[in-house]
Structure 1
């Protein structure tokens, strides 16, 4: 299935920006070249996640397991361009599902484990999957029951790793008898092209429901090249992946560069500082990612870090919130570890400050090189392939001088081709020159005006622990609570998570809603736990503009003042 125009594919491939190979072909390149012995290592606590003992696969075992799973999918009737939704913890099975989908030519739509009926129902309606891939249970939640209900309602197969209930198929069993020769014949007759859609990941914005972000094989292969440049990864590096395989941060930021370098990827789930540090030491990890709050908290606990040998760790990628010079300087001076400042989005936004491009730690914390700007020269592949500019969102005039805040607009082969089945969103997602409207506010700054400095988000999303949460979605749900007349949610600052969710409510006369009333209301509607507010403020009225829209910046100030 193609979403990228034929002319764009031909243009980018002729320039060498898109390599014209699929993710599976990149895997075959890695297998044929020099690579580490081990490909993938399970979380050390996997048994607590899904009851399966942790595993380790060599690259050859990994390839065979991928082939067996792809053959199982084919034997179960799945065909090229079929969509599948996967809700899996960060284990080897999730990695196998990603690459088996690439081999058969399926379109994979991965979702976080926290999604419940509300979020999954929206994904199923949009994607219309042929199958749902999950596990029987997770943290005492009955995944099988939810999967059975969704698949029955939407006419999808229920496929499970582990023991499958009646009406579902065990992929573990299917892989034992998979016809790999039939798979090979089918693939020869139905080749996958690099310009075809491979994944649909989900992101939240100001809209009331998550948006599907399709990316093709070319996008993902290029993503690996960009991240190798951003993080200075080396051939055979061991990478620790603490994020589930559901978005560009994990798939593009870790899995694709791991594949590109032929190293070893160590999986981690859920995030646990003790397990994280232990894995860094035991597996001799050279690169990982962590949010600024975690890096800052660890830096303030030297007595904890002294218990672990982190000498193999060269670089840590961080982002999702502004970094501080203190943090970058501290990790470098005390432990010899470089922090790469990375800004990105599922849509393909990508800016980074690393040791090579911005050696000064103060500048690296504050600024991003203006890659792709017409009046700023930078070396490297990313700067060459990217187009960027700042635009006054009120006037649409381009900003070329420092001292004025504008919206970052991006173009080039990293940027997606439009949201999945959302023409109304796509009509406003790109500007008149074809640049993607990121919704993020920057200013031209730094020495020689060669940098962008982050100033905030023009979109109203809440960023909790690196995950985007739509306030509009929560508003629509909460306002139905019987005690409430009006409600609006905002993000409030938090040192550990970046932001937490607060809700301001205008109650009906005589009502006194409590926070637990709101969370119980959302729980009854199967809303993911991470979306439920953690603070409640009672207000007489919500601040609104002349168009009767809630002014969230003003509301945020009101809420913070009362917490």
Structure 2
């Protein structure tokens, strides 16, 4: 009997590595995990990782989560994040990553929009009780049937996944591992508001390939990932890059420079994946001397319009690949020239590695839209998720569009053909990895009453920074916290008057 033709999933990639090197080191926790979550650090081989994945997957099955259910995950960059995502995929669940700064308002909206059946988190993350946040959000999401977490002192009603790992159940269910099946639903902020973006496994793998092919990531690499994992780019920059290389993933919870340097050198890492501004700052401070084993840096730009004006890369020992991020729509990479360290020119057309070679693997394609904005197409780009609604007056729907308009203003240089990204999407504010609509800031500002102001100011490193003013800043912070808003908005009203 012929087996059905399938494409690989993330679990398929993991099992291929497991079969080759079960005793090789697979996952390493952050050096300061005890401070972040109160849990002990883990160092897992591929065989140990496989047993933990199977035990968590068994817990999901025994909890009554049917295949194709949606499971929300809000976890830091620790071993548990990788175990949970792979366990969910092993039993056919779809993962919704929830950014760590999301609080009640965003969590509840995401759970209801995706009809999530379960949510996974940690007891505490950086001193915040995320277990309580999850329980409160789950209470307002009628689809949630199961709440579970890692760590001690979990609230009543929250199942412990640490205990599930210890019990080491072998319960499983037959699942055809097919890369065309749904794997991820992430959330983007567009001019129309919060938008769920579903992706199949092959789309995630294509995103990881766009990074690894352009940066020439070697097989068996020891990768330190210092990029928050709870997004499409975050998963590609950690889990997917690791599985494609078949090496070791050393996790770093952003950001403690001293901890990063110590852990990087302890494990003799050869690859660093981090926010590009952080990588450039390390370069200015003598990166080659401080990280003697470093050979490859992948720098991610949440504000891609800033790449062209960034500082030149000076390290002769390590290469830098700029990865341009466009929210949850897609990404592409360009490795800098070793001659002068300036950003590589971006050309229209297919993006592969190497781009000049005939028959090279195509990771994506760049185009200019008629509106003068940058468009993306290719296997990683979920065009249907961003498709505009059909005009109401037309009797026949227009043909489906095969690209996503990122809404970033761009133009082509007539002399060189290079693309210049000139401005971010209108009406969208980016603060680090978090995007807001300008109109949302105005709405929350109105709720503060007379004299209240909440605004976004340009910032060279993060795109924007939030600043607030109220007659009573402490009362404003309390009010925004009660509304369930994230800490970026709340802390915009911190007192800036220096102590006497």
When normalised by structure 1's length, the TM-score is 0.77
Paired with 2:62 and 2:206, the residues of 1 have a C-alpha distance of: 31
Q: Give 2:43's aligned residue.
A: 56
RMSD: 3.2
Paired with 1:65 and 1:213, the residues of 2 have a C-alpha distance of: 29
**1:266 alignment partner, SS class:** strand
**1:137 alignment partner, SS class:** coil
Whether 1:176 and 2:143 are equivalent positions in the alignment is: no
Whether 1:159 and 2:148 are equivalent positions in the alignment is: yes
**1:369 alignment partner, SS class:** coil
Q: Give 1:462's aligned residue.
A: 429
Q: Contact 2:38 / 2:124 at 8 angstroms: preserved in 1? A: no
Distance change in 2, residues 1:385/1:98 (3 Å)? closer
Structure 1 residue 250: deviation in Å? 1.7
Q: Give 1:443's aligned residue.
A: 411
Q: Give 1:24's aligned residue.
A: 11
**1:315 alignment partner, SS class:** strand
Q: Which runs of 5+ in 1 are unaligned?
A: 1-12, 394-405, 506-511, 537-563
Structure 1 residue 456: deviation in Å? 1.3
Q: Contact 1:159 / 1:170 at 8 angstroms: preserved in 2? A: yes
Distance change in 2, residues 1:149/1:490 (3 Å)? closer
Aligned residue pairs total: 478
Q: Contact 2:410 / 2:421 at 8 angstroms: preserved in 1? A: yes
Task: Give the 5 Å matches for 1:74-113.
Answer: 74-113=61-100
Structure 1 residue 434: deviation in Å? 2.9
Whether 1:279 and 2:257 are equivalent positions in the alignment is: no
Q: Give 1:497's aligned residue.
A: 462
Distance change in 2, residues 1:206/1:484 (3 Å)? farther
Whether 1:365 and 2:343 are equivalent positions in the alignment is: yes
Whether 1:211 and 2:169 are equivalent positions in the alignment is: no
Structure 1 residue 258: deviation in Å? 1.1
Deviation digits for residues 76-99 of structure 1, max 9, x if unmatched? 111211111111121111110010
The 4+ residue runs of structure 1 with deviation greater than 6 A are 380-383, 422-428
Q: Which runs of 5+ in 2 are unaligned?
A: 393-397, 495-500
Q: Contact 1:331 / 1:338 at 8 angstroms: preserved in 2? A: yes
Distance change in 2, residues 1:46/1:197 (3 Å)? same
Deviation digits for residues 104-126 of structure 1, max 9, x if unmatched? 11011111222111111111111
Q: Contact 1:415 / 1:436 at 8 angstroms: preserved in 2? A: yes
Structure 1 residue 461: deviation in Å? 2.0
Q: Give 1:3's aligned residue.
A: none
Q: Contact 2:189 / 2:436 at 8 angstroms: preserved in 1? A: yes
Q: Contact 1:351 / 1:368 at 8 angstroms: preserved in 2? A: no
Which of 478, 487, 495 is matched with 1:529 structurally? 487
**2:67 alignment partner, SS class:** coil
Structure 1 residue 431: deviation in Å? 9.2
Distance change in 2, residues 1:192/1:236 (3 Å)? closer
Q: Give 1:415's aligned residue.
A: 381
When normalised by structure 2's length, the TM-score is 0.86
